Amino acid sequence: MVDTDRCERGATIVEFLGVALLTVVALLGVAQIAMWTWARNVAVNAAHEGARTAAEPGRPLDDGAVRTRQLLHDGLGGAAAAFAVQAAQTGDEVEVDALGDAPSILPFLPSFTITATAHVLDEDAVLR
């Protein structure tokens, strides 16, 4: 006769570890998506603020790029170094681009490239 309690003695631990592992993986996935979303929002807002700064009367384009870099650094910390910022003027519009990789919680997760572009009407062109 086989003792069923003795055969199932370790089953609870194995089941708990399986559920715990899946829960941790799911939580890390949610945290990573939140990190990517946060980085995207910071980049978009930084590009818009940089474009508005560069579009102010009498301000050079470099001021917009510097402002964008400052806001990226304030929002993303050291991960902002992975972003390239470029400001350009096309006709009556100022354009600021921020391009970089979002930070990852775990190094083996795929990188997510963020591209943020903002277009603002140059106020110097309006005042002419």
Could you read off the pLDDT tens digit of each residue along the chain, which spans 128 residues? 555 566 677 788 889 999 999 999 899 989 999 999 999 999 999 999 999 999 999 899 999 999 999 999 999 999 999 999 999 998 899 999 999 999 888 877 788 999 999 999 988 777 66
- Predicted confidence at residue 91, as pLDDT, reads 87
- Predicted confidence at residue 12, as pLDDT, reads 84
- Predicted confidence at residue 120, as pLDDT, reads 93
- Predicted confidence at residue 128, as pLDDT, reads 63
Radius of gyration of the chain (CA): 24
- Predicted confidence at residue 97, as pLDDT, reads 96
- Predicted confidence at residue 2, as pLDDT, reads 56
Q: CA 121 to CA 123: how far, in whole Å?
A: 6
Residue of 84, 95, 102, 100 whose CA lies nearest to 117: 95
- Predicted confidence at residue 11, as pLDDT, reads 83
CA 4 to each of CA 1, 11, 13, 14, 18: distance values in angstroms, whole numbers, following the listed order: 9, 11, 16, 16, 22
Residue of 102, 99, 97 whose CA lies nearest to 120: 97
Task: Evaluate the CA torsion angle 38, 40, 44, 50 in order and state its sign.
Answer: positive
- Predicted confidence at residue 127, as pLDDT, reads 65
pTM score, two decimals?
A: 0.81
